[in-house]
Every structure is written in C-alpha cells, then in structure tokens.
Chain A
C-alpha cells in the first residue's frame, strides 16, 4: 500500500490531503513534504487525514516531530478528518491533548 500526498499552498497556508497508509515504509515520504513546511516562520499547515486507512507508530512520530518543529517556528498544524482507527492511536498515545485536532470523526475506512 502506498501514500498519496496532495499539496496546495495559498500564501502562508498549506493544505495537505493524505490518502493510503502512513507506516515505516511511507513515513519518509511524508516527512520530506511536511518537515520543510514546519521549519518556516508563521505558517499554517492543515492536514486532511480522511483518506488514511492505517497509521503506525512511525507515522505518528512524523506528526510528533512536525508538532515540535511548528512550535519552535511559531507556526501551527491542524489535523482533520481522522477515521476512527487513526483517531484511536492519537487518543491512546495522549497526543489528542497536545495537537490541534478537528473534532469530526469519519466512519471506519474499510
């Protein structure tokens, strides 16, 4: 399974729409796109995860790294459109407490 990343930028706002899986194999691809955005000052990054069927802990690690980096650079990152399975791992790991996550949950991707 692969990861598709759709990326649109309007001024300081970057919208990423992800589809597929974020795991140890695809995480480097996400990192390559996401990390440079977080390293600039005053950016707003919005990530739509509604197309993600599976995320493992390595994938989660990319978001943790991105969160730290946005904070260090006065930027922001918002996650939206999580499926239940993905939301569950953000909840178990307590990351829902520190990340900006839009509160609408999509049904399980089957």
Chain B
C-alpha cells in the first residue's frame, strides 16, 4: 500500500466514524489528522480532491449538483495551494538563513578571538557574553614587546551590521601598530576610519589602554566608553576610571585626552561594557555601586574566577535573560 492509499483509507475511516457518530472525539481526530497531512506536505487542494474521492466511494449515488460543487471547490482552493507552497519555500529559506547566521556568528567568534596573553606581573580575567547570537562587544589584547595593550569596545547598533563593523575595527587596529603605544592617538585614528565608514546611526565606544610592566603605569584614553574602575589596594577603595572623549564615528575632528595611572601591587584595573551597568532587574537598574560590591565580594579569588562569579550573580539578578552584551575584564597586579 502506498503512502497516498494509506492516507485515503485513513481519511475514509475518520469521515465514516464522524458521519455515523457525530462525536467530538471524531472531530478531534480529524484535527490531528490535518497535522499529519501538513507534515507530509499535502496541500489544501489535495485535501479537497481526497475528500471528493472518498465521497464518491461512500456515496456512489450522490447528487450530480453536489458532485459538481466539489469540483468547483477544488478550483477555488488552488489559490490557497499556491500560498501554501510559497509559505513552505519561505520556511525553508528562513531555516537556511538561520543556519547561515549561525555560521557567521561562529566565524565572528573565530575571527575576533583574542587570546588572553600571559604577563608575569598581571593576573588577567576576561568574560564576554553576547545577549543574542552576534556579540556587539569587542575586546582585544595585543602584547607589544613587554607592554600589554588592551581594548574594550561596544558597537552601537545590533546584530549583523554591528558584527561587520567590529571586524573593520579589528583590522583597522591591527594596521595601526605603532599607535598601540599611545592610546589617545590610536583612538584619533580609529575615529577617522569609523567616521568615514559607518552608517549615520552607528557609533562605537571604546576604551584603549596600555600597561607598561617596566614602570607599572597604565596609560589609557576613552571614546565615550562606560568608565571602568581602578581598585587601590593600599586604600581599599575603588575609583572611577574617568576618560573623557566623544564616541568614535560622530565628529571627524575629535581628539582624545591621554591619561596615566600608577599601578601598585594588589591594585586592579577593571574594564567593562555598558551591558554591565545597564543591567535591568525587576527592581530597576543595577547601579555602579552594586557592581563594585559584587567585585569586592569576589576580589580575593583569581581574576578569571572573579569575572565569572560577577557575571553569574548579575545573570541571576536578571533572571538569566541578558538584554545587552556583557564584557568584564580585570587586570590585577600581583608582583
């Protein structure tokens, strides 16, 4: 028995049961059967033709006019058949697109992957988690001789355009190596690249810094990025890492201010994305004080465990639903 014959038999059974008993159960079975028809990609006009065939078998003496009316109905349903097939092909296309986005997302991860380098005097912890498939946050470490360059950026505008923009940033940064030494000049140059190349609604916030292990200074500059913190071990106090400057991509002539901080043993440099401070919970926003309190709670642990724990607690507060990408980087001076 072919699949089609099986369907005809089943339809005949169901309709006979219904005509005889007029029961709710029989109707319900009909509903279930339609799901099976959809699974087997049987179109609406095929169902009508199935119905006609079965009615012929069940009622050979059916009124001629009635018979003709079914043929008419069949013609009317053909339009629905087209719509149905179009829907099918759109669904296939959507699945294809989704899998392409998956591929793009994993490619983005690979392309932008930045290894966390080993630096003798620093314990480094990094976490970066996207809210959706594509991450709009970006971080980058480059070891330049002895010095460590670190950047954290937030690309405004979400999804694929932001991801593409991020690749541009990465390659622009890679092509400006001599400026890695001067964060404020690096930002100035990146600003030119971004301003000329992004959509008017898009912009990028970035903090770029350079840790010099020879004299233990951290020089940095910011382009409209959420301020980080510096933890001062000697005073057991967190200070805001203010870095004034306009976001990248808005003003062609922007310049950026250089900052420099001395880092003592036990001090921590904390960089973050605004996904960290824009966390929303059922009780409202998470304030910077609360972030500091979370860092303080876990700061005796190794840097990687610290950032992991802070993320887990914030995730719990947001009921495990990130609204924004989340990036937190901690550099702790150990010797």
Complex-state Cα separation, A89 to B274, whole angstroms: 10
Known: A57-B274, A61-B156, A92-B226. A98 touches B251 (CB 8 A): yes
Chain A minimum-CB-distance residue to B284: A110
Complex-state Cα separation, A83 to B270, whole angstroms: 28
**What distance in Å separates the Cβ of B22 from its nearest Cβ neighbour in chain A?**
48
Chain A minimum-CB-distance residue to B226: A92
Binary A-proximity of B211-242 (CB < 8 A = 1, otherwise 0):
00000000000011111000000000000000
In chain B between 163 and 208, which residues have their CB closer than 8 angstroms to a CB of chain A? Answer: 199-203, 205
What size tier do the contact residues of chain A reach? 20 to 34
Binary B-proximity of A5-29 (CB < 8 A = 1, otherwise 0):
0000000000000000000100000
Complex-state Cα separation, A108 to B3, whole angstroms: 68
In chain A between 61 and 110, which residues have their CB closer than 8 angstroms to a CB of chain B? Answer: 61-62, 64-65, 67-69, 85, 89, 92-95, 97-98
B224, A58: Cβ atoms closer than 8 Å: no
A97 contacts across to B, CB distance below 8 A: 246, 251
What size tier do the contact residues of chain B reach? 20 to 34
A58, B158: Cβ atoms closer than 8 Å: yes
Complex-state Cα separation, A56 to B156, whole angstroms: 9
Known: A64-B200, A65-B200, A92-B226. A58 touches B156 (CB 8 A): yes
B200, A24: Cβ atoms closer than 8 Å: no
A56, B324: Cβ atoms closer than 8 Å: yes
Complex-state Cα separation, A68 to B324, whole angstroms: 26
A60 interface contact, C-beta 8 A? yes
B46 interface contact, C-beta 8 A? no
B154, A98: Cβ atoms closer than 8 Å: no
A94, B158: Cβ atoms closer than 8 Å: no
A57 contacts across to B, CB distance below 8 A: 154, 156, 205, 274
B203, A61: Cβ atoms closer than 8 Å: yes
B156 contacts across to A, CB distance below 8 A: 57-58, 60-61
Complex-state Cα separation, A57 to B154, whole angstroms: 9
**What distance in Å separates the Cβ of A79 from its nearest Cβ neighbour in chain B?**
15
A93, B200: Cβ atoms closer than 8 Å: no
Complex-state Cα separation, A65 to B156, whole angstroms: 12
B250 interface contact, C-beta 8 A? yes
A64 contacts across to B, CB distance below 8 A: 200-201, 203, 247, 250
Known: A58-B156, A60-B156. A95 touches B224 (CB 8 A): yes
A31 contacts across to B, CB distance below 8 A: 201
A60 contacts across to B, CB distance below 8 A: 156, 203
**What distance in Å separates the Cβ of B119 from its nearest Cβ neighbour in chain A?**
29
In chain B between 294 and 335, which residues have their CB closer than 8 angstroms to a CB of chain A? Answer: 324
Chain A minimum-CB-distance residue to B246: A94
Binary A-proximity of B113-142 (CB < 8 A = 1, otherwise 0):
000000000000000000000000000000
Chain B minimum-CB-distance residue to A56: B278
Complex-state Cα separation, A87 to B24, whole angstroms: 62
- The 3 A-B pairs of least Cβ separation, nearest first, read A94-B246, A93-B224, A65-B201
Known A64-B201, A92-B225, A97-B251; further 19 A-B contacts with Cβ < 8 A: A31-B201, A56-B278, A56-B324, A57-B154, A57-B205, A61-B202, A62-B201, A64-B247, A85-B285, A93-B203, A93-B205, A93-B224, A93-B246, A93-B247, A94-B246, A94-B247, A95-B224, A98-B246, A98-B251
